[in-house]
Amino acid sequence: MQEAKTFYDIHLHAMDLSHPNILAFVKRVNGIGLKLVMGGIFLPFLKRKKENILNLLSVMENNIEDYFILMEYYLKNKSRIVKNDNSFSIDGVIYNRIVLTPLLMDFGYKNIKTESFYDIPPQKSIVEQTYDVLKAIKKYCSCYLEKGVNGKVETKKRTEKNDLLFEIYPFLGINTQNYEKEKLVTMMEKYFGKYEGKRNDLFENMGKFDGGIDLTGSNVFAGIKLYPPLGFDPWPKRNRKEMDKVLWLYGFCEEKNIPLTAHCSGEGFIVDNKTNRRTTPKKWAAVLQRYPNLKLNLAHLGYRKNDFFFFQNKKWLNEVLKLIKEYENVYTDFSCAAFDDNYYGWLSKLISENKVYSDKMLFGSDYMINLLSSKSYNYYLNTFFKTQKIEKPVKEKICTINPERFLFEDNK
């Protein structure tokens, strides 16, 4: 009997409507479409967009504490793709565990521009989002949902942590502009001072959150999330103070081999018109020249919706591909892009161009944000499970071998 494997979703989010900066959120979901939907103007060509927005909001309206138990419930009970024993099959290979790395986002950008009368930018502390996500992980480790004989969904207590479908290892969102260097150093030493990149250490601490952020230490977070559209500049060469902070951060992460996931797409939660200048892969080329061993995931494969190249911007794409070929520890995910079999056909052709590409690709969903273009998390996963456009050995690399190497030192 074959040993069951672990599937990885390297890129997703866990937030409710209290967490994002709503001004940036409205831009993300297309402000005009959202206004029309909320105003009840349902034009035929907006029908699908309206359905997608309502689908997304139906998830974000839930209490964040229920986030992961709801994800598991739907995977097992509605258009089910996971059996009750946690098993599922991909091309005949059995899996029974899914590692999730929810990417926390620092929405506390102080320079967001607003045309509203109320023009003092809202501050969204990442501490609150972190607190809520850690509580959600704790609840997931102790509870699950089950449909009773009367059809009512009920909360049940778990007995064994080893029987979980999900292992959940969040990435801490950081925007260096929101901290003085002393605070940044203190924070990184607190959360990553004893980090060794071991899966067992992270699993041991998963769900142990006792409600005190100040008491949370190392081996709770699996990595760092950096998000240029919200103001983070990967290489602020004209700002000496900010450059000093990012250089310290990269040096710390390179030394400890801490994984970084960086948004690398022209879309996202956008706060000003400088987004593309901060987000471009060229910024990371400068970083990697200085820190060539930095473990980095350039998310979204350079995807830019407004530039038509099979919904890819060829220039950004080529820059990302160049970096993953040149640097051993640089990866890319294709989150929020693989909505149908056509995409996997395109991806297969790309991967065939160079063996390195198959060793550097990571599966990511960008759930819940991907609901703007996908029916459900189930549907997005199942599209990958069922596609025949990607060869079986390459699939296993994308969803298991590569992300294990990216995340964990003991799987190098």
- The rounded distance, in Å, linking the Cα atoms of 1 and 20 is 46
Backbone phi, psi, residue 230, to 5°? -95, 20
Q: Determine contact, residues 49/33, Cβ cutoff 8 Å.
A: yes
**Per-residue pLDDT band at 187 (split at 50, 70, 90):** very high
CA 81 from chain centre, in angstroms, equals 21
Q: Looking at beta carbons, which pairs linking 158-163 to residues 24 or more positions away fall under 8 Å? A: 161/206, 161/207, 163/86
- pLDDT, tens digit, 9 for 90 and up, residues 117-164: 766 666 667 888 999 999 999 999 999 999 888 889 999 999 888 889
- CA dist 58 and 368 (Å) reads 10
- CA distance linking residue 338 with residue 370, whole number of Å: 10
d(CA 7, CA 398): 9
User: Is the pLDDT reported for residue 29 higher than 80?
Assistant: no
**Full residue range of the structural domain in which residue 202 is found:** 5-411
Q: Is the pLDDT of residue 311 over 70?
A: no
Query: What average pLDDT does range 61-86 have in this prediction?
Result: 95
- Is the dihedral angle over the CA atoms 29, 343, 82, 197 positive or is it negative? negative
Look at residue 216 in the predicted model and tell me its pLDDT. Answer: 81
Confidence of residue 304 (pLDDT cuts 50, 70, 90): low
Q: Which band of pLDDT confidence, cut at 50, 70 and 90, is reported for residue 34?
A: very low
Residue 327 in tokens: 């640097």
| pLDDT for 79 beyond 60 | yes
Q: How many domains, the chain?
A: 1
pLDDT at 307 over 50: no
Mean pLDDT of the chain: 88
Confidence class for position 28, pLDDT limits 50, 70, 90: low
Q: Structure tokens of 172?
A: 């801490």
Closest to 365 measured CA to CA, from 399, 328, 329: 399
Q: What is the signed CA dihedral for 6, 358, 13, 159, rounded to 10 degrees?
A: 0
- Distance in angstroms (rounded) separating the CA atoms of residues 144 and 151: 16
**By percentage, how much of the chain surpasses pLDDT 70?**
85
Region at 302 (left for phi over 0; alpha for psi -120 to 50; beta for the rest) = left
Band of the pLDDT at 47, cuts 50, 70, 90? low
Count of other CB atoms within 10 angstroms of residue 69:
21
The string of pLDDT tens digits covering residues 192-209 is 999 999 999 999 999 999
> What are all long-range contacts of 234-240, with beta carbons under 8 Å and residues at least 24 apart?
234/262, 234/278, 234/283, 234/284, 234/286, 234/287, 235/283, 235/284, 235/286, 235/287, 237/286
Q: 379 — alpha (psi -120 to 50), left (phi > 0) or beta?
A: alpha
The pLDDT, as a whole number, for residue 87 is 97
- For the stretch 164-182, pLDDT in tens is 999 999 999 999 999 999 9
Q: What one-character DSSP code corresponds to residue 385?
A: H
Residue 15 tokens read as 């937030």
pLDDT at position 24, please?
64
CATH of the domain at 359: 3.20.20.140
Say if residue 264's pLDDT is above 50.
Answer: yes
Residue 64 confidence (pLDDT) above 70: yes
Residue type, 23: L
Distance CA 139, CA 232 (A): 32
The pLDDT assigned to 207 comes to 94
Distance CA 37, CA 3 (A): 48
32, pLDDT greater than 50: no
